[in-house]
Amino acid sequence: MKKLMSGNAAAGEAAVLAGCTCYFGYPITPQNELTEYMAKRVPEAGGIFIQSESEIAAINMVLGASVAGARAMTSSSGPGISLKQEGISYLAADELPAVILNMVRGGPGMGNISPAQSDYLQATRGGGHGDYRTIVLAPSSVQEIADLMPLAFDLAEKYKNPVVVLGDGMLGQMMEPVEFDHIRKPKSAAKDYILTGAKGRPSRMVRSLIFDVKEQEEHNWKLSRKFQRIEQNEVRYETYLLDDAELAIVAYGTAARIAKGAIARLRQEGLKVGLIRPITLWPFPSKIIQETSKTIHDFFVFEMSAGQLIEDVRLSLEGKGRVHFYGRPGGVIPTPVELFRIISRHYYQAQREKKS
């Protein structure tokens, strides 16, 4: 049965239903509703909620809970996520599962509390130190938040790697009808890497200090083989009205839903525009973009930042096809109408150039 819920609350509810028993977080707008939801919901469900003294403490509590075998998560926004980078690097190095939710706001610095997509590079390139990647999931509706949270925990445990869910202030605070009936608790598979006290088995150590450079290098290659597996198996995306399209918008999250609004109008006017919506920002859906470039020449990157997603689109295209860009950083929520105007301009121009 559907409920009208904010993205923040839905994320929390979905996490709990997916077996998340530990939430550690520190308040920051625009994700406070999640922390507050968990303060009530997690203890009800018999789990652990701690409002930590800082974001750094939170990510390290997550690490502790994870190494103890629990499904644990934290959430924050902009500045708070920057503070977690060391901890995320440790989680990746220790090969521990964890889910980190970032309801992105305008930045850099203090910025503001309005929705933005300017933490894309941080999330996809590993804002922390060393060779590692985090899986990055980008929902574009409250329902999709509820759908991706369980997936986030599953992937985190499957690959023993931190997973970032990248939302924004709008997705976090807006309410939409959402239902959770499909979410199942995970069948508890015994984890052979966690610390439980060494009773009846050899003792274990979880660490990322590897003085021997050869060993460390082997560890790095082991990780990067894992990342390659993830790139092969876990790419997710949505395509929308691509078949007959002459221009493909590439956008994720909130920007993608605005793009759909624009496409509706564009189609009314007979402009053949489609959409590629990455759902995993890392691994990035390069293949579909390459595929598409065989039939479509113009790619229109639309994001709520000064230009970050565009790097991955250019890396995917490698010169095949023309990349257009429209960005609105700083917490501005662009309207479908404005996007419609911009795109039609680019569209006709592209047509003219084809002619000549």
Ligand X SMILES: Cc1ncc(C[n+]2csc(CCOP(=O)(O)OP(=O)(O)O)c2C)c(N)n1
Residues within the interface to a second copy (CB under 8 A)? 56, 78-79, 81-83, 85-86, 89-90, 92-94, 104, 106-114, 116, 118-119, 121-122, 125-132, 207-221, 223-224, 305-308, 311, 314-315, 317-320, 328-333
* d(C-alpha 65, C-alpha 57), whole Å: 12
Min dist. Cβ of residue 211 to a second copy (A): 5
Min dist. Cβ of residue 136 to a second copy (A): 14
Stretch 52-71: interaction string toward ligand X, x if CB under 6 A: ---x----------------
Determine which residue in the list 262, 279, 288, 309 makes contact with another protein, applying CB under 8 A.
Answer: 262
- Site membership for ligand X, residue 80 (CB under 6 A): yes
The conformational region for residue 184 under phi > 0 = left, psi -120 to 50 = alpha, else beta, is beta
Min dist. Cβ of residue 77 to a second copy (A): 8
Give the residue carrying structure tokens 């499904």: 71
Min dist. Cβ of residue 80 to ligand X (A): 4
Min dist. Cβ of residue 76 to a second copy (A): 10
Torsion of CA 151, 152, 156, 162, to 10 degrees: 170
Determine which residue in the list 15, 20, 42, 50 makes contact with another protein, applying CB under 8 A.
Answer: 50
- What distance lies between CA 273 and its chain's CA centroid? 25
Q: What are 293's two structure tokens?
A: 């470039």
Residue 257's binding partner among ligand X, another protein, a second copy, none (Cβ under 5 to 8 angstroms by kind) is another protein
* d(C-alpha 182, C-alpha 97), whole Å: 23
- Site membership for another protein, residue 195 (CB under 8 A): yes
Binders of another protein: how many residues, by CB under 8 A? 82
Min dist. Cβ of residue 188 to a second copy (A): 27
- Site membership for ligand X, residue 172 (CB under 6 A): no
> If DSSP codes are grouped into helix, strand and coil, which group holds residue 75?
strand
- Site membership for another protein, residue 328 (CB under 8 A): no
Contact, 60 vs 25, CB < 8 A?
no
Binding segment (CB under 8 A) for another protein, from list 144-152, 271-279, 315-323, 334-342: 334-342
Determine which residue in the list 45, 121, 175, 342 makes contact with another protein, applying CB under 8 A.
Answer: 175
Q: Which residues of 321-354 are buried (b: 16+ CB within 10 A; e: fewer)?
A: bbebbbbbbebeebebeebbebbbebbeebeeee
- Site membership for another protein, residue 307 (CB under 8 A): no
- Site membership for another protein, residue 327 (CB under 8 A): no
- Site membership for another protein, residue 337 (CB under 8 A): yes
Non-local CB neighbours of 76 within 8 Å, separated by 6+ positions: 25, 26, 28, 31, 55, 58, 83, 84, 100, 101, 102, 103
Determine which residue in the list 22, 148, 279, 304 makes contact with another protein, applying CB under 8 A.
Answer: 22
Amino acid at 51: Q
Determine which residue in the list 52, 220, 239, 290 makes contact with another protein, applying CB under 8 A.
Answer: 52
Determine which residue in the list 10, 12, 15, 35 makes contact with another protein, applying CB under 8 A.
Answer: 35
* Secondary structure in 3-state letters for 246-289: CEEEECCHHHHHHHHHHHHHHHHCCCCEEEEEECEEECCCHHHH
List, as one string, the DSSP characters of 128-156: SSSS---EEE---SHHHHHHHHHHHHHHH
Binding segment (CB under 6 A) for ligand X, from list 20-28, 240-248, 284-292, 306-314: 20-28
Non-local CB neighbours of 143 within 8 Å, separated by 6+ positions: 10, 176, 177, 178, 179
When the beta carbons of 25 and 106 are compared against a second copy, the nearer one is: 106
List contacts with ligand X (CB under 6 A): 26-28, 55, 79-80, 83
